[in-house]
Structure 1
Amino acid sequence: MKIKLTSVIVDDQDKALKFYTEILGFVKKSDIPVGKYKWLTVVSPEGPDDIELALEPNDNPAAKTFQQALFEQGIPLTAFFVDDIQEEYERMRKLGVVFSKEPTKMEWGAFAIFEDTCGNLIQIQQV
């Protein structure tokens, strides 16, 4: 058994696609209309056949409540790994990304938390 797909809840799929590709550097893999939404996934350019990230619309009231509660509590919805957290932090800040937590060193490595413009806090970490 292995993980091939995971998802983030987003308040606007088009805005999410723009942020996740133009700012974070992911690559669009799937963009298939499904009613008023779409099956929309992105992948890392470093592993285009690895794990896909679905940009799921938060149209479900439970999803909206969950997303809002995590955001208000300062809890990241997911985490992405980077090779150099300081370099990635500086690159993203120059692009206007808002960080709620600057790079912080821990015993296991370092992490930072940013807003994805789609209703989520996302953590980046370096091990």
Structure 2
Amino acid sequence: MIRHVQSFAIFVNDLDRATAFYRDALELPINKQGSFGLELFHEPPHVGIHPAVHPDSKALVGRHTGITFHVPGLLHFSGTLHDRGVKFLTEPTKMSWGVMAMIADPEGNVFALWDDEVPPDET
């Protein structure tokens, strides 16, 4: 019987650059690290950052991952991400259900950032 999602995999060509991005720019916690790459987050579901060594995994570098990270205070944190050089494909946008932005890692892997708290409009 399937219990839960254990992990998602993201493939990269430059593991050192990816480590700096996910650890330093995004401030994501590293649970494990080794020749396999990185395992982010201390509890499942984990996000695995893996070197693209096989032809099938090389084809998956630089794609939309379908992963959405929950970021409380996204409007504020996006300023920090800009300062750290994170590439925004879509700036944080207020919608009726929350705030969403799209970013890419240095390899072109795309993620959504989401905050379910819609801040009031400043007047």
Question: Shorter-chain TM-score category?
Answer: 0.7 to 0.9
How many residue pairs match? The answer is 114
In the alignment, structure 1 residue 98 sits paired with structure 2 residue 87: yes
For 2:51, the equivalent position in structure 1 comes to: 57
Q: Report SS of the residue matched to 2:53.
A: coil
Q: 1:92 to 1:39 in 2, by over 3 A?
A: closer
Q: Deviations over 1:55-87 (max 9, x none)?
A: 02223333333444x3xxxx4542111111101
Unmatched runs of 5 consecutive residues or more in structure 2: 117-123
Give RMSD over aligned pairs.
1.9
User: Cα distance, 1:7 vs. partner?
Assistant: 1.8
The 5 A counterparts of 1:65-84 are: 65-68=59-62, 70=63, 75-84=64-73
Residue in structure 2 matched with residue 124 of structure 1 by the alignment: 113
Distance 1:125-1:58 versus aligned 2 partners, 3 A rule: same
Q: 2:47 is matched by which residue type in structure 1? A: L
Encode CA deviations 1:29-70: one digit per residue, 9 max, x unaligned: 21233xxxx242121xxxx234321102223333333444x3
**Residue identity opposite 1:30 in structure 2:** K
Identity %: 24
Runs of 5+ unmatched residues, structure 1: none
Cα distance change of structure 1 residues 51 and 114 upon mapping to structure 2, 3 Å threshold:
same
* Consecutive aligned runs of 4 or more in structure 1 exceeding 6 Å deviation: none
Asked whether the 8 Å contact 1:110–1:125 carries over to 2, the reply is yes
> What is residue 26 of structure 1 aligned with on the other side?
28
Letter in 2 for 1:61: P
Which residue number corresponds to residue 6 of structure 1? 8
CA separation in 2, counterparts of 1:98 and 1:118? Answer: 11
Distance 1:63 1:107, change over 3 A: farther
Take 2:60 and 2:7, find their aligned partners in 1: how far apart are those partners?
A: 20
Q: Equivalent residue of 2:59, what SS?
A: helix
